[in-house]
Structure formats: structure tokens, C-alpha cells
Structure 1
Amino acid sequence: MSLSKVRKVRLILSAALLAASSMALAADLPTFKLEMQDGKLIPPRIEVPTGQRIKIEIHNIGKSAAEFESIELRKEKVLAPGAQSFVVIAPLRAGEYKFFDDFHLNMPQGVIVAK
């Protein structure tokens, strides 16, 4: 095998290992569920522990696209109707962090409360 092919194989293997380890780390995090339904946030308040990374699983159960967004947390995730995804949030200090559906700004915001 030529040197360039060996480098390509190493790069591909490294990328695969990194992706697998990232997914494993996300699977081990405290996980909270959020449903978005045409601007409605279910639940509108999520209580999480302080000082540790968390994962929020988001499911768009509505008939229109949704966008989870938090300016304070610098997170956003767009979901088509019926789609599921997640965001991982860095350890939080005690406090409240607002989030909303950026495609339905006329609806009430939600809040993540770190205790």
C-alpha cells in the first residue's frame, strides 16, 4: 500500500473512532426530553443538575418545522416535522436559561433551570 493510501486509511479510522466516542459520550449523559409541537414546548420547564454536561433529546411532533434555539446557551437545532435530534449542553451554573422555537416566535418561551 502506498504512503498516501496508508494516510487516508488512518484518517478514515481516526474519524470513525472520534465519531463513535462522541456518540458514546452523549449516550452516557443525563438526558432530558423535549417535544415541540407547532410552537408549543412540552415541557416548557426543564430542571437539570448544575456542573455537568447534559443532553436534551428533541422530538418535533408538530406538522411544521421547528427550531430549538437558546441565545444564552448558544445552541440551535432545526427539525422537520416528525424528526428527532439532540443537543449537548456544557455544564451550567445555577440559574435559568431561556429557549424557544425560532419558527414560532409568537408562542411562549421555555426555560432550563439548573439547580
Structure 2
Amino acid sequence: MRSLPFLFAALCASIGVHADDMPTYSLRVKDGRFSPDTVEVVAGQRFRLTVSNDGPGASEFESLELRKELVLAPGVTRSLVFAPMKPGSYRFFDDFHPQTGQGRIVAR
């Protein structure tokens, strides 16, 4: 019974190490535009996408295909973790700026 807390701590530590080793890609939103508008990732590998809103108003990262959505107030940075993707192109957009807020994640 005493080994249970030790096993739990070891499991948490290994998860933390795994999360730190995860590739991280950055995406910025300003004035209704994503930069870069195409994010290339390695197919079959989990990754983190850090999204920063550098604009004066609210922005959103949304992908229906990937079932991800993130609303950001001005000056806010948040991250999403993605499961390994099959090779392909996956669209994302900003509902607050539908004309200019378009991009894609390309898994190769």
C-alpha cells in the first residue's frame, strides 16, 4: 500500500517529461489574420500548438475537422494538444474574422 503514492509520483513525473518533449508550434493572431497561415507538423506524432492573440479584439482558433476550439481575449496565449494526425491538410479558422482568419495544419 505504501508503494502506491510512489508509483503515482513516478507516473506523474514520466507524464511531465513526455509533455516537455512534445514538439510545440506557435501561431499568432493579429487583426484577424493567422501567422503563419500554414503550420507544418510531423504526421503520426502528438504535438502542442500555442496560440497567441496579439490583436486588440477577441479571436478564435477553430477546426471542425480536428474538433478543436479556442477563444482568446486580447493579449492571451493558450495551448492545445493534438493527437497524432494522418498525413493531410486540416483547415482552421477564426469565427470572429471569417474573411481573413483562415489557415491550415499540414501533417507530413
Shorter-chain-normalised TM-score: which range? 0.7 to 0.9
For residues 64-93 of structure 1, give each alpha carbon's deviation from its aligned partner in whole angstroms, at most 9, with x where no partner exists.
Answer: 011100000000111100000011111000
Check the 8 A contact 2:95/2:101 in 1, yes or no. Answer: no
4+ residue segments displaced more than 6 Å: none
Shift of 1:49: 0.2
Match of 1:95 in 2: 88
Identity of aligned residues (%): 49
Alignment of 1:17-56 (within 5 A): 25-56=18-49
Alignment of 1:1-115 (within 5 A): 25-115=18-108
Unpaired segments ≥5 residues, structure 1: 1-9
Unpaired segments ≥5 residues, structure 2: none
CA distance in 2, matches of 1:107, 1:21: 41
How many pairs were matched up?
Answer: 100
More helix by share: 1
Compute the RMSD of aligned alpha carbons. Answer: 2.0
Instruction: Please give the TM-score of this superposition, normalised by the length of structure 1.
Output: 0.77
Instruction: Please give the TM-score of this superposition, normalised by the length of structure 2.
Output: 0.82
- Opposite residue 36 of structure 1, the aligned amino acid is V
